[in-house]
Structure 1
């Protein structure tokens, strides 16, 4: 059951692609350059909406995006999101410099420079990384190709586009030169746009964006050895985050990584990766909001944050007992600092100071056929997490002194276990059953947020939080049941899942929270706390090839997240997507392609009461897309998104901090009608 999706990400031409249905094995979803995966629903990325790679997730069964701004897409999968999902960017586990997830990992590579996005559907294998309680995703940027012959070859891609909804434009250029042993590449991109418009040209402010990206690297291969040395730089300028207290003034910095692989023959392989990351970040609540924020907001505030991180990954695979055994080790270390200045009142708070988080992990994973047509995957991972924080400063002397005099060193020891059975019942029908135990250690915000703040890793619920130094790690017990039926013309692949999560972390009105409410006068203050929770649901993908020119594809997602034994009767988890799905009719003939796509989203009334989460109404959207290839390598694309200009509110959007009031909170509205055009050339 090897599930593999590929999409034409090279240009932002927004045309759906599908593959014929043939039998393969191994449950992985891949979004990459050429379509290879049989029997899968997908659409190619749109041009204007894909300002970060996270937007591709809306085409992946079970996945979604929590949006706090145009470049701040936080990955979500089956009701879990943020740090519960392990995301690897070019082999590195990138750390967010912003304590409020203004720069989530998938935002670091523009969609047009994304080479592949891989999402493990269902239970993530232990080999996919540390902290995979909510799944695992892997992004690879474009790096050019080695030459196939003995001579020197050049290749690359140039792409540009315009979108009307925010008068936005982008441009991308990547070029490489290579022979069969050496390659060097260089790329650059620029994206800019104004505040986007919703129905009747009403603007949703602040949603302007400005980002430049740059990458360079060298690769070498010979006789089964391959080495890569890469550098990527992200320079995000003035970019709105209307769901958060502040906007991005800049996010700057880079990632250095080196990787080496050795194919030893006889099925044995060695892979290594080393990386170093250093970034800095400035945000404030006045540069983009001075003319639009409510008059009641009198305080001009800004925050500076820095992160320095690094890590190493090792994995060795070899044949064992008619299967393959992979053993490996992972380790990373990160340091975080964040200082807030209240410019109006004249005080400063160093609320995250010299926070250090180190993780050391080892794993073993075996996959092989244990009987005729029956495959088994077994995995085990041990992880030790050590974390500490320095003294803080701030205006609340009592809180500051209490935190500084406390013991802040924490150690967490976690064991992940997986067992997945895959049975080929016939040439057309595959069955998968999986069981897992997964863990996640608390984030530094959940532990060390001593001063009441909204620096909560992007929750965007408008509430004020404090951390808890005594938090326990989360432990999830997971069950998965999936079926994959496929013929030469049709496929359907439903998956059902159930997760019981012990010590799930969310906000709660604890005794400490009540005490701080009285001290600070913040009636909405919550504390991160451990609860018991469960998540369950189903996601389905299906398609049918009508004839050689027409095909129909669709997908459906449903997840429910609930607190168990809630003392107040509030049993819904926060930011759970409602029932949603897509259907798409595609026509392709010669060098022409076109599609009509329908998106439907149901009401969401099962909302978290602990933070007064807003309900949302359902909606339906229609999108039209087309592309034409007039010459080899050249692709022209155009389309209309939200054709009927429907005003709608995505349940996973955060609160609108500009238009909300204490008595009338409002969610950030999604984009209105958007007309776009793109042009790309690949050589």
Structure 2
């Protein structure tokens, strides 16, 4: 219905931008400079009060102890990470996580093609390939949002490095030799340690036109026997560049603190490879990037299954151009993944695979037009298409999860097709106007429209026929799929977003910003189209880690969030950059918040009867609110040529959220559906799932010459406001001490560190239900042993790590 109009709109937008480009294409403009150091200032400009940036310096410091890209964001105010696999954490911004965030990696907007969201968007990259990460809150420009209500995470991979012309034999032009941001700030820049060329000076070819740069790194992590290697190699002249990024890592199960028990289903292995070809000339940049990822296995302690294969391919083409009228950026991408779930050795029973095939593709075109010295306009158009096939193959052996089943029941004779040719398409257009009214006042106003249309084919149960000995759960699923198939499944949402910001800068170094935004997100395919209703089947649809089962709802409405935030930011402008502070309280009200509602049905952990009771939930719309405050700051304590620089840095975050419509059914007996239904009539404001309690990170950092050291304390308050509706556990307060040190020569860096120095035993507030530990004990030792082992996923104990990086 909408496609002809959408295609005409896209064509018109492309023609307008192309005509603008053609009209000014003959203007000779300065060359686009892509810096070899990949470094950015450690403090973002004050006019970006609602955005924070993870710089290359921070990534270099965090890379040795971290395997998960999402973990790089934990030092940013308002950001937390929900536990997944070793490389698949789910980030949250101010309490809103997963699909409620727009996550873009190098222009590719990948969708989680898994009913447990094991292959989250950030899992498709690793810290080695990242140049910078931009974290944008919900009260932000519409040009960085779309189909999200919680904010955006924009990952920029390491860019191609272009050589500057050779002025004379053996002499490199300005900018030819990259300088580490760490070394540039050192009182005593160290000399090269290895007998290798200074990084950025290795040249060869006719007239030394070709510049070769790169890094090779290796690391070791003691707690889980983690090892890994990575490399970045760039070959370029002044117009062409070829960049390779690659990494491989693996780890066994990690040990918790205290008694050192293994946390089962936390092992993993992954490899990533990417090649980027770049061309630049007179203000125009073209890049073409291809990436490949293979994860042979990855354990998930808070899920009932593990990842047994995840193989993906992606292509991304980018153009950036500078014209007399402004700048133009156009991008197209394609991403495909084969995902398979099963059981790793910690779950010991026979395997029964579950498979998902996903494909993302799309484009984006945006222009930035400085209309005058005071006015800046941004316009853009984008499309994101997604295709999904999710099914469970039939089991001809008659076994399900390793246990014999009657003929014709549960897992035979056909495949169980959950999402059959599912498709989700989004066409978005936006415009925004930024104006500086005076030297002190400025504003930003933007509007956005996203049309989302989705559909799926008919589902299919394992057994579309009812046999005399068929279990009740097979009969329930058979009835559910017939009802689902009889309905019209096509849905179209027309969504509108807007943002209005006002900024006041009374003097250089201080900024006050107040803003409102309306953001909208349409349901994902699993939220709308998951049709199984029987307990053990619904348990396979769960990206929350709470152990419950979920079923979809064709009648879901899009979520609409109204966000209000105030930010105050201050900075030392004396030139010494001695201190900085930032604080931002916020409030969010969400209409049609998608949450799980108890259906009254329950199930046990198969095959142990009368064990822990899990709920069967259905996705429904509610109203919810979140509010809190986050802040960050740093202050120089001492600086001298003899002792170097000592500074204190800190980050603090607090968020409180509640579902305004769901009652608190914690007083209902297990399995009492009438009590659960009645509880929904009592609006007590049940807590939202997986909100990080109040927490802070405080560190002392010291640097002299190439030596840098830090002692960091992480303080986490008790989590006592939880989702009783989902059976969320409370967690006690804890404190962790982390130490790290590094020495950076111009061509080599050594990292050493210890996380959780005191080997504290603590529960991860966002860890979820430790299902592997519970189900294993229940199966091996019986009901009572299983119930005694119910717990939140514990955090990692003491971990020694070391890293080595060589540059050329």
The question of a shared fold, defined as TM-score above 0.5 by the shorter chain, is answered with yes
**2:65, 2:48 → 1: CA distance?**
32
Deviates more, 1:78-87 or 1:117-126: 117-126
Q: Is the 8 A contact 2:602 2:615 kept in 1?
A: no
Q: Is the 8 A contact 1:225 1:261 kept in 2?
A: yes
Answer yes or no: is 1:679 the counterpart of 2:804: yes
Q: Provide Cα deviations, 1:324-346, integer angstroms capped at 9, x if missing partner.
A: 10111010111111112464144
Answer yes or no: is 1:319 the counterpart of 2:386: no
Answer yes or no: is 1:361 the counterpart of 2:457: no
CA distance change for structure 1 residues 369 and 270 in 2, over 3 Å: closer, same or farther?
same
Q: Secondary structure of the equivalent of 1:326? A: strand
Answer yes or no: is 1:189 the counterpart of 2:247: yes
Of 548, 558, 575, which residue of structure 2 is paired with 1:463? Answer: 548
Show the counterpart of 1:117. 133
Show the counterpart of 2:51. 28
**1:517, 1:20 → 2: CA distance?**
51
- 1:430 Cα deviation (Å)? 1.0
Q: Secondary structure of the equivalent of 1:197? A: coil
Show the counterpart of 2:86. 70
CA distance change for structure 1 residues 9 and 162 in 2, over 3 Å: closer, same or farther?
farther
Q: Provide Cα deviations, 1:417-449, integer angstroms capped at 9, x if missing partner.
A: 000111102223210000011100011111011
Answer yes or no: is 1:479 the counterpart of 2:479: no
**2:256, 2:284 → 1: CA distance?**
52
Show the counterpart of 1:660. 774
Answer yes or no: is 1:280 the counterpart of 2:338: yes
Q: Is the 8 A contact 2:233 2:245 kept in 1?
A: yes
- Mapping for residues 146-295 of structure 1, pairs under 5 Å: 146-150=162-166, 151-199=209-257, 200-266=259-325, 268-285=326-343, 287-291=344-348
Of 733, 738, 742, which residue of structure 2 is paired with 1:623? Answer: 738
Show the counterpart of 1:295. none
Q: Secondary structure of the equivalent of 1:659? A: helix
Q: Provide Cα deviations, 1:635-665, integer angstroms capped at 9, x if missing partner.
A: 0010110000001111111211122267453
Q: Is the 8 A contact 1:163 1:675 kept in 2?
A: yes
**2:553, 2:625 → 1: CA distance?**
22
Answer yes or no: is 1:332 the counterpart of 2:419: no
Unaligned runs of 5+ in 1: 1-7, 12-16, 35-41, 292-297
CA distance change for structure 1 residues 201 and 424 in 2, over 3 Å: closer, same or farther?
same
- Mapping for residues 370-389 of structure 1, pairs under 5 Å: 370-389=437-456
- 1:542 Cα deviation (Å)? 1.2
**1:251, 1:182 → 2: CA distance?**
33
Answer yes or no: is 1:434 the counterpart of 2:515: yes
Show the counterpart of 2:528. 447
**2:711, 2:603 → 1: CA distance?**
52
**1:70, 1:658 → 2: CA distance?**
15
Q: Provide Cα deviations, 1:252-272, integer angstroms capped at 9, x if missing partner.
A: 011101011111035x01101
Q: Is the 8 A contact 2:418 2:530 kept in 1?
A: yes
Answer yes or no: is 1:405 the counterpart of 2:486: yes
Show the counterpart of 2:665. none
CA distance change for structure 1 residues 124 and 361 in 2, over 3 Å: closer, same or farther?
same
Q: Is the 8 A contact 1:144 1:155 kept in 2?
A: no
Show the counterpart of 1:14. none
- Mapping for residues 559-598 of structure 1, pairs under 5 Å: 559-566=655-662, 567-568=681-682, 569-598=684-713
**2:293, 2:59 → 1: CA distance?**
27
**2:274, 2:696 → 1: CA distance?**
36
**1:80, 1:397 → 2: CA distance?**
35
Q: Provide Cα deviations, 1:195-251, integer angstroms capped at 9, x if missing partner.
A: 111123321111111011111121111111111100011100121111111111110
- 1:49 Cα deviation (Å)? 4.1
**1:20, 1:61 → 2: CA distance?**
14
**1:608, 1:299 → 2: CA distance?**
34
Q: Secondary structure of the equivalent of 1:54? A: helix
Give 1 or 2: higher helix fraction.
2
Q: Provide Cα deviations, 1:302-351, integer angstroms capped at 9, x if missing partner.
A: 20110012000010111225221011101011111111246414433111
Deviates more, 1:528-537 or 1:631-640: 631-640
Answer yes or no: is 1:607 the counterpart of 2:664: no
Q: Secondary structure of the equivalent of 2:62? A: coil
**2:495, 2:96 → 1: CA distance?**
19
Q: Is the 8 A contact 1:570 1:609 kept in 2?
A: no
Query: Given the two structures, how large is their TM-score scaled by the length of structure 1?
Result: 0.91
Q: Is the 8 A contact 1:9 1:111 kept in 2?
A: no
**2:118, 2:614 → 1: CA distance?**
26
Q: Is the 8 A contact 1:317 1:324 kept in 2?
A: yes
Q: Is the 8 A contact 1:570 1:610 kept in 2?
A: no
Figure out how many residues of one structure are paired with residues of the other and give that number: 651
**1:195, 1:531 → 2: CA distance?**
39
Deviates more, 1:586-595 or 1:317-326: 317-326
Show the counterpart of 1:294. none
CA distance change for structure 1 residues 9 and 399 in 2, over 3 Å: closer, same or farther?
farther
Give 1 or 2: higher strand fraction.
1
Of 507, 530, 533, which residue of structure 1 is paired with 2:596? Answer: 507
Answer yes or no: is 1:633 the counterpart of 2:747: yes
Answer yes or no: is 1:648 the counterpart of 2:648: no
Q: Secondary structure of the equivalent of 1:83? A: helix
**1:242, 1:543 → 2: CA distance?**
37
**2:659, 2:634 → 1: CA distance?**
35
- 1:26 Cα deviation (Å)? 5.6
Q: Provide Cα deviations, 1:252-303, integer angstroms capped at 9, x if missing partner.
A: 011101011111035x011011001111011113x33344xxxxxx774320
Q: Provide Cα deviations, 1:358-377, integer angstroms capped at 9, x if missing partner.
A: 00110001112023311111
Q: Is the 8 A contact 2:542 2:549 kept in 1?
A: no
- 1:43 Cα deviation (Å)? 8.4
**1:275, 1:117 → 2: CA distance?**
19
- Mapping for residues 48-127 of structure 1, pairs under 5 Å: 49-121=65-137, 123-127=139-143
CA distance change for structure 1 residues 231 and 316 in 2, over 3 Å: closer, same or farther?
same
- 1:565 Cα deviation (Å)? 4.2
Q: Secondary structure of the equivalent of 1:203? A: coil
CA distance change for structure 1 residues 339 and 555 in 2, over 3 Å: closer, same or farther?
same
Q: RMSD over aligned Cα, in angstroms? A: 2.3
CA distance change for structure 1 residues 570 and 480 in 2, over 3 Å: closer, same or farther?
closer
Q: Is the 8 A contact 1:445 1:455 kept in 2?
A: no
Show the counterpart of 2:506. 425
Q: Secondary structure of the equivalent of 1:220? A: strand
CA distance change for structure 1 residues 26 and 325 in 2, over 3 Å: closer, same or farther?
farther
- 1:163 Cα deviation (Å)? 0.6
Q: Is the 8 A contact 2:217 2:806 kept in 1?
A: yes
Q: Secondary structure of the equivalent of 1:56? A: helix
- 1:165 Cα deviation (Å)? 0.6
